[in-house]
């Protein structure tokens, strides 16, 4: 048996065995494509603006956040125009929303949409249709995801035609407008789409492995210098005493205006770290992207007495391995490249589902032909 035949049968067997699980991850991946935007829309729909009311100022929102349960150090995220839901967060699992017109908490805003996407994520990661993490399902999805990488790589090899003539290359390279039968259509879709989306799918599956397996995460840490970053020496960090505010603090609105003037843009949203009452500086950021795009968030240290703002890089001292893991997290969803990246990742997930469907059709046809051939041999012999 030739090497190509061995790779073909391995490709077929793995695809036929794990196709259902890969298809399920593909479908849930498509559903999760615009999760962040859909949840934000549902949260904003819960806002009721009083008649002729104007949104609260940044300072009024910060005061309302403290009264609603926030505390100094929490991050308040306000959309541009202050007309969408305001988020106050002390981490991923400790946050609440506020009405930008009244400052009241919106504890039920977007809950149904959030719960829907949470369940889809549980299925996508852990094959958990009910409850929380399903260890068996997590292992099945982890193996399926990893072997789907192998399917993409072997598929790229099997795509190579035996004869480099346009008649043989065309149905493997382009989507044809007409097909003589269903088998020819499945062949064309499987090979053409598989080729064009092989690289995005490899990135999606490999980054997914980092979340499924500890060894993959440890490899990333090792490859990017470990927990201590790229440096081999550790230095003792001496924390300086915080500088206290001298004089009166200006409003947060004035600080936001200073940052916007320096950036020469308003940003899609403003993130303000709620300051301690006597703190001399506070941190605020202008987000020009989707919240996770590198370089799209401009962070400033603002003097609360109004003396000015200074651009800083909060990631400067972050270990390189930590930066790599954050990048990989959002490379998996495409969000690291903004809306275009999200869309490409979503289309790739849809294509993965189509590849599974066409692959199962072609594989079933090949196995049926093999069965019929052996049956005829037994009848003749």
pLDDT tens for the chain, 381 residues long, are 789 999 999 999 999 999 999 999 999 999 999 999 999 999 999 998 888 889 999 999 999 999 999 999 999 999 998 889 999 998 777 899 999 999 999 999 999 999 999 999 999 999 999 998 999 999 999 999 999 999 999 999 999 988 888 988 999 999 999 999 999 999 999 999 999 999 999 999 999 999 999 999 999 999 998 644 444 444 454 555 567 877 889 999 999 999 999 998 888 999 999 999 999 999 999 999 988 887 899 999 999 999 999 999 988 888 999 999 999 999 999 999 999 999 999 999 999 999 999 999 999 999 999 999 998 888 886
Chain centre to alpha carbon of residue 289: 14
Residue 69 three-state SS: coil
Whether 74 and 88 have beta carbons less than 8 Å apart is answered as: yes
Residues 6+ apart with CB under 8 A from 25: 124, 141, 144, 145, 148, 352
- Residue 112 phi/psi, 5-degree rounding, is -65, -45
pTM of the full predicted structure?
0.89
Whether 153 and 160 have beta carbons less than 8 Å apart is answered as: no
Residue 315 three-state SS: coil
Whether 187 and 355 have beta carbons less than 8 Å apart is answered as: no
- How far are the Cα atoms of 45, 102, 356, 357 from residue 26, in angstroms, in the given order? 29, 41, 9, 11
Alpha carbons 233 and 215: distance in angstroms, whole number: 25
- Residue 238 phi/psi, 5-degree rounding, is -110, 115
Residues 6+ apart with CB under 8 A from 60: 103
Q: Which helix (H) or strand (E) holds 326?
A: helix 320-333
Nearest-CA neighbor of 356 among 146, 186, 208?
186
Range 236-268 burial, b when 16+ CB lie within 10 A, else e: eeeeeeeeebeeebbebeebbebbbeeeeeebe
Alpha carbons 53 and 200: distance in angstroms, whole number: 47
Q: How many residues does the structure list for the chain?
A: 381
Alpha carbons 95 and 317: distance in angstroms, whole number: 26
């Amino acid at each position: 048996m030739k090497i190509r035949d061995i790779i073909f049968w391995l490709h077929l067997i793995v695809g036929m065995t794990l196709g259902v699980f890969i298809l399920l991850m593909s479908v849930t991946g498509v559903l999760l494509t615009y999760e962040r935007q859909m949840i934000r829309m549902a949260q904003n729909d819960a806002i009721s603006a009083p008649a002729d009311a104007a949104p609260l100022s940044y300072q009024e929102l910060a005061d309302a956040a403290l009264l609603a349960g926030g505390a100094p150090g929490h991050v308040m995220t306000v959309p541009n125009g202050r007309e969408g839901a305001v988020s106050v967060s002390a981490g991923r699992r400790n946050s609440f929303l506020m009405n930008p017109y009244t400052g009241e908490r919106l504890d039920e805003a977007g809950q149904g949409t959030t719960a829907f996407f949470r369940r889809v994520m549980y299925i996508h990661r852990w094959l958990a249709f009910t409850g929380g993490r399903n260890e068996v399902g997590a292992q099945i999805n982890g193996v399926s995801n990893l072997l789907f990488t192998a399917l993409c790589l072997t598929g790229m090899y099997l795509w190579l035609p035996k004869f480099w003539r346009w008649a043989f290359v065309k149905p493997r390279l382009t989507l044809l407008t007409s097909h003589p039968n269903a088998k020819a259509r499945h062949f064309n879709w499987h090979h053409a789409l598989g080729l064009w989306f092989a690289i995005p799918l490899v990135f999606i599956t490999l980054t997914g492995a980092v979340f499924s397996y500890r060894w993959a995460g440890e490899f990333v840490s090792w490859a990017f210098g470990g927990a201590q970053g790229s440096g081999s020496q550790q230095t003792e960090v001496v924390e300086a005493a915080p500088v206290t505010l001298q004089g009166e603090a200006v409003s947060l609105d004035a600080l936001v205006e200073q940052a916007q003037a320096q950036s020469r843009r308003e940003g899609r949203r403003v993130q303000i770290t709620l300051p301690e009452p006597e703190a001399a500086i506070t941190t605020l950021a202008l987000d020009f992207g989707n919240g996770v795009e590198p370089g799209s968030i401009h962070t400033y240290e603002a003097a609360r007495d109004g003396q000015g703002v200074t651009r800083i890089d909060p990631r400067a001292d972050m270990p390189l391995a930590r930066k790599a893991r954050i990048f990989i997290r959002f490379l998996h969803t495409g969000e690291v490249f903004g809306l275009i990246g999200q869309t490409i990742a979503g289309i790739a997930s849809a294509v993965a589902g189509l590849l599974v469907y066409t692959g199962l059709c072609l594989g079933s046809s090949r196995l049926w032909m093999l069965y019929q051939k052996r049956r005829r041999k037994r009848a003749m012999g």
